[in-house]
Amino acid sequence: MKFSLTFRYLVYNAVLMNHNYWKRAGVIIFIVSISITAGYLLAGLDLSANKTVAVKQQVASVSLAMAAKVDPDKLYEITDVVDGDTFKVKIDGKQITVRLLGINTPEVVDPRKPVECFGPEASAEMKALLKAGKVGPSEVKLTLNPNREKIDKYNRLLAYAYLADGLFINEYMVKEGFAREYTYGKAYQYQKEFKEAEKTAKDLGKGLWTK
């Protein structure tokens, strides 16, 4: 009888302890679940906030480029050179990114791609032309293509650029072998001239076409 009571006492305590254990475990699991859920919610809010900021920046960029009024007789100050076919200018006090029409230079700044052959040379040539980083502002004249879109998918102003002395930068970069002729979609204003300039550079083995 004494043994039976003792046994039942031990079983009762074991069950009670087991019950308390699972009760505590359930509380812990509940707390962890709440924490994880809260973490996901906060992360979602953070991502949503970041996405909203990115969209606002993109809209602002589009608005600036689209609103930019380009006077073909005016010189615009260069603020930065991105690579061999892209630079930034000030238009009405706003910084606008300009992508040169009808040409394409090897990639150097796209994080998705490795630096391409002759890309650094093309970028260096553009910086030399525009004297980027030198004392005092450098300036260019800009004209838009009358029959093409004003901006590209990256919200850059599409333009032809000229130095103050009249040098046609787009054509120069192709003719000297720093860029290829580039047609996106339908024909553009100087397509024929740029194709001829590329052929000349190839025939002479300049830049990209060095044998």
Is 180 among the catalytic positions?
A: no
Residue 66 in contact with residue 150, Cβ under 8 Å? yes
Annotated catalytic residue within 8, 116, 139, 156: 156
Token code pair at residue 141: 């004249």
Quick check: is 176 catalytic?
no
3-state SS of the chain: helix, strand, coil percent to 5? 50, 20, 35
Pairing of strands 157-163, 139-143: antiparallel
156 noted as active-site residue:
yes
Which residue in 8, 24, 77, 107 is the catalytic one?
107
Which position among 99, 125, 181, 198 bears the catalytic label?
Answer: 99
Q: What single letter denotes the amino acid at residue 126?
A: M
- CA 25 – CA 31 distance, rounded (Å): 10
CA 48 to CA 55: how far, in whole Å? 10
* CB-based burial, 123-143: b 16+ in 10 Å, e otherwise: bebbbebbebeeeeebbbbbb
So which residues are the catalytic ones?
99, 107, 156
